[in-house]
Structure 1
Amino acid sequence: MKTMTKDVDPIVLDLIENALLNARFEMDSVVVRVALSPVIREQHDEFPMICDPQGRMIVGQFGSYIPAIVEEYSDINEGDIFVWNDPYACKGSISHNNDWCVMMPIFHEGVHVGFSSIFGHMVDVGGKVPGSMPADAYSIWEEGLRVPPVKIYEKGVMNEGVLKIMLNNTRTPDMNRADLMALVAGCRTAAKRVQEICDRFGRETYLASCGLLLNRTREAMRVLINKYISEEPVSFTDYVDDDGVGNGPFKMQLSIYRRGDTAVFDWTGTDDQAEGPINFHIHEGLCKLFFGVYMIMAFDPKIMFNEGFYDLFEIVLPEGSLLNPKFPAALSNRLNTHTRFFDCQAGALGQKAPHLSMAAGYGTSPHFIFTGQDSNGKYFQLMELLFGGVPGRPRGDGLDGHAWWPLFSATPIEYIENYYPVVVESYRPVKDAGGAGLHRGGAGIEKTYCVLEAGSVSIHDDREVVPPWGINGGLHGGTSSKWLIRAGSDERERIKSKLDNLQVEPGDRIVFITAGSGGWGDPLERAPEKVLADVLNDLVSREKAEEDYGVVISDKNVLDSSATEKLRTSRKKERGEPAPFDFGFIPGVHAAE
């Protein structure tokens, strides 16, 4: 339902909007300065937001889960701070136990004016393996401590019992305590800034502005829905490789259509929940947010990203499916499904607006975890998120070795080598991993770790079997792979993309190769000079330049323009119109068709 508001001067509205945006980014800055773990401090795996009194996100990244928490409590006071991490107890507002979420009601002169909240990934929350994301879990009971929504501060006083329980169930209590206090500090920072806005412009003007910002986004989204979503359903299917316990691939099927001003996103046809931990218990509101942010970023990035459009979306999540699993299904590695969710969005929405579409990306959030005891007997646990190819898109080439979360950054090699018994021997893009296209897909990365102490390694990745597809004539990108090289040997032993407790000794090396991404547009239309530049930059081989792009380059890396023109003319005649999608070959799927 449309939010009712009073009039606010447009300049004042803009000032409040930008003050809230600044407060949201200040939350990030505070969190990364206080946190201790590399996952939050260096890689920024935390997601803040500021909400109105009804719990609707005004600024942020991940969408509001506040109403599902608040409905459990009739008594909320100034100074209260809530914490939780159980996906099932908060209706999927966070999606695995590693995410600890903090929420704080904001008051101005005793009047409730909103909420601030942040969740961040803790490096360990107990469970059967270090890192708390077992590749072979069959239930959430194996994935660590589960905390329902509780008050960690009540009227400003810390509940020491809750904190002790949480820290007593982790292998990394010092890091977790620092990271939790960082989240609290971020929420308090936002509360202070909202109070300052109310002081400056007046509380009623602030609250009215929140409603206006929501309404403005709603009206802009209504225009996008009517322009880019048809009444005739459009469907798309993609696959997750496997669930870590021997099953797969898993189908994800999305249909999108419009009913009046309402966009319907229907996941009927998606496979049943997995035995292993790739299930994604997604909150309906979060599902709406993912569709909304894609439509905003693809179709009109000037629109402010908030929850004003939620009533314009209808979501169908079949119960017992990969996206709506029944308790106690395992959830720890849900990112493989989570990111395929985005690929399905792109494939479905792009069919009616190919000029605004994008291809598929590297398709997960690859994890490398190395644990053990150093020479001084001190426990260590390195957890790093790796990145891959960001897909080709209308505006240009995809990004090489980039995160699919825009604000994430790579852990500096100097940080890793200074704090952990590891040497990073190489870190480079993978040649020919970016799908060919008018706009090339981004390349995956190859990172080689040499361990200096005995310990165990866990790895979580995907798109080893199912390639990232290309669109509008673009070709699919390269897949991922992992390799073990034992000390004193040069032989590579292939290892699974999802495994735990791989025992390693000093001098052993792990070669971690992430997937690339699909290309966008006809590769035979790409400027030959750009293809040559990719060859010179070691992103494309001369063989692939000729095979995929029809560009002839000599042994001395000189472009043969005449031969290129002839080859391209011949290729276009043989091929005809390029295909709208290129999925590559998917074992277990195409073989059966």
Structure 2
Amino acid sequence: MSTGFKTDPVQLEILVQRFRSVAEEMAYALKRTGHTAFVNETGDLGVALISRNGEIFGFPKAIGITMFVSLNYVTVLNAVDDLKQGDIVVFNDPYTTGGVGSHLPDINIFKPIFHGGELICYAYAYVHATDIGGKVAGSLSPSSYEVYQEGLRIPPMKLYRAGQPNQDFLDLFFANCRIPEDNWGDIGAMVTAVNLGEQRVGELVGRYGRDELWQAIDDALDYSEARSRAVIEKIPDGRYRFSDYLEDDVVTGIPIKICVEVIIEGGSMLLDFAGTDVQVRAAFNLYSEGRPHPWMVYKIMFLLLTMDHEIPLNAGLMRPVEVAVPDGSILNCKFPAAIGLRTTLGVRVQDALMGAMARALPEVVPAAGAGYVAPIVFAEPNLVSGGLKVTVIEPMVGGTGATSDSDGVNARDVVDLSNLRNNPTEIVETIAAVKIRRYGLREDSAGAGKYRGGCGKILEFEILSPDCLTTARGMERHRFAPWGLKGGFCGAKAKVLLRPSGAEEFEDIGKIDSLKLSAGDVLQVHTPGGAGYGDPLERDVARIEKDLAGGIISAAAAELDYGIVLNGAGIDRKATEKRRAQLAAGKKDEIDLHRLGPDREEYERLWSDDLWDRFTEILYALPVPFRADVREQLWHRVDQAARNGQQVTPGMLGGYWEDIKVRYNDALGQAARGGE
């Protein structure tokens, strides 16, 4: 470990690893004592040790959600006065915590750790509650447009006072969620975790001393920052742009655009999100206060760790990364916008970031993964309580993107934000009225390439009870496929199929918001595959043989995508070599870095960069409450013109706005006068 810090280098290394191990011990305690399957099986949880200044200095690498080190907790730590030994604070509301509680189902707690009456640091934990109230079972619905619809909002308040539960809070909390016993079990697991953190920090203070521990915390953060800046300095200085889309908000059918320019200068990085869409009247928003929220930056964190495996995982790692985010955008929304699907939004933000970074580091950055994380939430009648029993059937994800030297990983995309596991089939069938009929890899979903993407997966389950409900937030890539790199093909798009009870065939039903189901209905969810990297005609034939044998690709895909010639004995290598040479001769010499897919290319022929710039210029000039409505009207005017065969120009769009603007003149004038 480098010198230049007050703590002895050897001791600093020991303490850095000790901070991590304490956090991991807390995480394992939380997972093992968690009550719901989404905690004790899937592992949607997190823990940390937090400094007095609100920065994470102890964080697990291998369990739970591992992406939150860029959060600064100072707002929430200072929100409750007069903290004493044995107090524990609970919260979930983004709007009163500076975005630390990023959506309502994430129940967060922290415990101040004292030694000799003096504050040393804080122990923190969170779990994703299966239900926190709100308009639907499971709380989150893409069509929610206000945070009030997404469940009970909890500003920072005391869960425990001097070691005793705050019964007034608990009574209110349990009266506003559908599964109070389950939530209480998971809260108890969090309390166990922070109490363990308190014990271990006390042992560290006893061994090393208060001042020495404080100094080591500061040095650990500074050391991570120094190593992070050294990595960024290796990236060529420049400005790297890319954009990606959520293909709709479920309500309007209008794609949501995310624009980013990554600016590298020396050891600093700025992520400029100018041009990103305005906040929407749906749940795809993030409350960030314009700061580098993890849902805007987490893949940058993992990119830095990929380039230097030895950087300690703490808040110092992300100090060199800053953001510029428009007010009232989907990444910096204003109250009371719904924020429940910030995961779906955040995943696509990372795709945009990596698309930009591929321009700087094409041999390091992979092709796009599935970009899809959709927990399947199932609600059935609870014959004991008279309400609903709510269960997360499975957190559905797809394949990762291929890299310059390796295939993508099957059905494990979005693991870079967590270590989520699938729910065991036996557990699911025990706790929910479903029968899992199929759960496995999806053939022909991996984007072809010299290195192929990872496969998506298929979940098929039958409903065993009448009057059930399924929600599936986060379904994406049904229209715009994951993009490939350097000639690699796009990954397969997602789809959802339903076979109603008594029917013989499945029908494609598109995305799910809230779907009523009954006994005998069968639902299939097909997740996207990751995209490929490099020309598929250059893929090693032995790899293709293995993929054919393993059911990764079909014979038809081997012939169509990879130029393979098959005979009765398998691959005809001589004929394949000849056919590949013929196919290669017909290709252009230079290929684009990104392969976006025909659906996105068609959309962007209509929505050129110039047209989009004019569109956002109009919207951002408006007061936030008017933007979503004007956005929808203008978009549909452009879409209708395109259907009539017109290519819309920025000037034409300005004319559409002048037509619409008349309806808003009185309100805009009042806003200009200060709302008098």
- Give the TM-score category using the shorter length: over 0.9
Provide, for residues 372-405 of structure 1, a one-character-per-residue CA deviation record: whole Å limited to 9, x for no partner.
Answer: 2266676421213112112212452111112513
Deviates more, 1:129-138 or 1:577-586: 577-586
* 233, 242, 250: which one aligns with 2:239: 233
User: Is 2:493 the counterpart of 1:484?
Assistant: no
> Displacement of 1:101 after TM fit?
0.7
Distance 1:591 1:348 in 2: 20
* 368, 392, 403: which one aligns with 1:393: 403
CA contact (8 A) 1:335 1:364 kept: no
Distance 1:281 1:110 in 2: 35
Q: Which residue in the other structure is 1:244 paired with? A: 250
User: Is 2:222 the counterpart of 1:209?
Assistant: no
User: Is 2:484 the counterpart of 1:470?
Assistant: yes
Q: Which residue in the other structure is 2:29 paired with? A: 30
Distance 2:493 2:171 in 1: 43
User: Is 2:277 the counterpart of 1:267?
Assistant: no
Q: Whose Rg is larger?
A: 2
User: Is 2:93 the counterpart of 1:86?
Assistant: yes
1:189-208 matched pairs, under 5 angstroms: 189-208=196-215
Q: Which residue in the other structure is 1:174 paired with? A: 181
User: Is 2:44 the counterpart of 1:45?
Assistant: yes
Q: Which residue in the other structure is 1:420 paired with? A: 432
Q: Which residue in the other structure is 1:458 paired with? A: 471
User: Is 2:454 the counterpart of 1:442?
Assistant: yes
Structure 1 residues 540 and 165: alpha-carbon distance in aligned structure 2, compared to 1, 3 A threshold: same
> Displacement of 1:133 after TM fit?
0.6
> Displacement of 1:309 after TM fit?
4.1
Structure 1 residues 586 and 322: alpha-carbon distance in aligned structure 2, compared to 1, 3 A threshold: farther
AA in 1 matched with 2:544: V
Q: How many equivalent residue pairs?
A: 587
AA in 2 matched with 1:294: F
AA in 1 matched with 2:230: V
Distance 1:235 1:566 in 2: 39
Structure 1 residues 159 and 581: alpha-carbon distance in aligned structure 2, compared to 1, 3 A threshold: same
TM-score scaled by length of structure 1: 0.95
AA in 1 matched with 2:261: S
Structure 1 residues 211 and 374: alpha-carbon distance in aligned structure 2, compared to 1, 3 A threshold: closer
Provide, for residues 124-180 of structure 1, a one-character-per-residue CA deviation record: whole Å limited to 9, x for no partner.
Answer: 111111010123112111111101111111222221111111111100101111111
What SS does the aligned partner of 1:298 have? helix
> Which structure: greater helix fraction?
2
Distance 1:400 1:200 in 2: 46
Distance 1:422 1:309 in 2: 44
Distance 1:88 1:210 in 2: 29
Structure 1 residues 156 and 6: alpha-carbon distance in aligned structure 2, compared to 1, 3 A threshold: farther
Structure 1 residues 395 and 201: alpha-carbon distance in aligned structure 2, compared to 1, 3 A threshold: farther
Provide, for residues 3-51 of structure 1, a one-character-per-residue CA deviation record: whole Å limited to 9, x for no partner.
Answer: x996323332222122221111112211112211111111000111112
Q: Which residue in the other structure is 1:337 paired with? A: 345
User: Is 2:134 the counterpart of 1:134?
Assistant: no
What SS does the aligned partner of 1:233 have? strand
Structure 1 residues 5 and 52: alpha-carbon distance in aligned structure 2, compared to 1, 3 A threshold: farther
CA contact (8 A) 1:5 1:211 kept: no
Distance 1:159 1:552 in 2: 71
AA in 2 matched with 1:339: V
Report percent identity of matched pairs: 28
CA contact (8 A) 2:371 2:413 kept: no
CA contact (8 A) 1:267 1:317 kept: yes
Distance 1:5 1:224 in 2: 18
1:153-164 matched pairs, under 5 angstroms: 153-164=160-171
* 598, 608, 633: which one aligns with 1:585: 598
Q: Which residue in the other structure is 1:184 paired with? A: 191
> Displacement of 1:570 after TM fit?
2.4
Structure 1 residues 25 and 436: alpha-carbon distance in aligned structure 2, compared to 1, 3 A threshold: same
CA contact (8 A) 1:366 1:385 kept: yes
Listed as ranges, the gaps of 5+ residues in structure 1 are none
What SS does the aligned partner of 1:58 have? strand
Distance 1:470 1:381 in 2: 38
* 296, 310, 323: which one aligns with 2:331: 323
Q: Which residue in the other structure is 2:310 paired with? A: 302
What SS does the aligned partner of 1:426 have? strand
Provide, for residues 558-593 of structure 1, a one-character-per-residue CA deviation record: whole Å limited to 9, x for no partner.
Answer: 121112222222222221233311111236724525
User: Is 2:391 the counterpart of 1:382?
Assistant: yes
1:477-556 matched pairs, under 5 angstroms: 477-500=491-514, 502-556=515-569
Structure 1 residues 435 and 215: alpha-carbon distance in aligned structure 2, compared to 1, 3 A threshold: same
AA in 2 matched with 1:491: E
* 563, 576, 583: which one aligns with 1:571: 583
Deviates more, 1:423-432 or 1:486-495: 486-495
Structure 1 residues 374 and 105: alpha-carbon distance in aligned structure 2, compared to 1, 3 A threshold: closer
Distance 1:449 1:282 in 2: 37
Distance 1:144 1:550 in 2: 53
AA in 2 matched with 1:203: R
AA in 2 matched with 1:34: T
Provide, for residues 340-384 of structure 1, a one-character-per-residue CA deviation record: whole Å limited to 9, x for no partner.
Answer: 011112111121111101111221321212212266676421213
User: Is 2:566 the counterpart of 1:560?
Assistant: no
> Displacement of 1:480 after TM fit?
0.7
Distance 1:31 1:37 in 2: 11
Distance 2:130 2:301 in 1: 27
Structure 1 residues 377 and 162: alpha-carbon distance in aligned structure 2, compared to 1, 3 A threshold: closer
TM-score scaled by length of structure 2: 0.83
Q: Which residue in the other structure is 1:54 paired with? A: 53
Distance 2:603 2:422 in 1: 34
User: Is 2:83 the counterpart of 1:76?
Assistant: yes
Distance 1:247 1:226 in 2: 42
CA contact (8 A) 1:472 1:580 kept: yes
CA contact (8 A) 1:229 1:263 kept: no
Distance 1:306 1:289 in 2: 14
